[in-house]
């Protein structure tokens, strides 16, 4: 099974609960409220390390932060998207290791 990553990201931003940004991602991961963190390829290594240390599923988006922002409907760069509630999206399949299309 493969999911359409762009469509899933748009859906989770629209129907679920997400946090945008690396600081929010680290805080939510350390508090244990994050269900999944999606990071851009150019997200700082220390941020990725802190998320991994918190044992939160992390998916590396196959693009840079300038690509991730517009997909999420934001007019700025986005290095990390933290999923708190998936809403109507199938984004949590990424946490289970499902590949994106």
Residue 82 in contact with residue 19, Cβ under 8 Å? Answer: yes
* Domain at 67, CATH number: 3.30.1330.30
Angle between helices 22-31 and 45-53 (to 10 degrees): 20
User: Per-residue b/e over 12-36, b at no fewer than 16 CB within 10 Å?
Assistant: bbeebebbbbbebbbebbeeeebbb
**pLDDT for the residue 2:** 73
**pLDDT for the residue 95:** 83
**pLDDT for the residue 16:** 97
- Residue 24: inside a domain: yes
Domain count, the chain: 1
Q: Which of 45, 54, 98 is nearest to 82 (CA)?
A: 54
- Residue 29: inside a domain: yes
For the entire predicted model, the pTM comes to 0.92
- Residue 101: inside a domain: no
- Residue 27: inside a domain: yes
- Residue 73: inside a domain: yes
- Residue 65: inside a domain: yes
Residue found by looking up tokens 């997909």 in the block:
71
- Residue 80: inside a domain: yes
| Average pLDDT per 10 consecutive residues for the chain, totaling 101 residues | 86 97 98 97 97 95 96 96 96 77 49
What is the residue range of 34's domain? 2-96
Alpha helix (H) ranges present in the chain? 5-15, 22-31, 45-53, 65-71
């Amino acid at each position: 099974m493969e999911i359409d990553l762009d469509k899933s990201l748009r859906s989770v931003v629209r129907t679920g609960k997400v946090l945008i940004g690396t600081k929010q991602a680290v805080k939510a991961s350390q508090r244990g409220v994050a269900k999944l963190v999606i990071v851009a390829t150019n997200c700082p290594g220390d941020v990725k390390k802190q998320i991994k240390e918190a044992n939160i599923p992390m998916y590396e988006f196959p693009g840079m932060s300038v690509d991730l922002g517009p997909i999420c409907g934001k007019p700025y760069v986005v290095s990390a998207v933290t999923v708190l509630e998936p809403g109507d999206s199938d984004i949590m399949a990424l946490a289970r290791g499902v590949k994106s299309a």
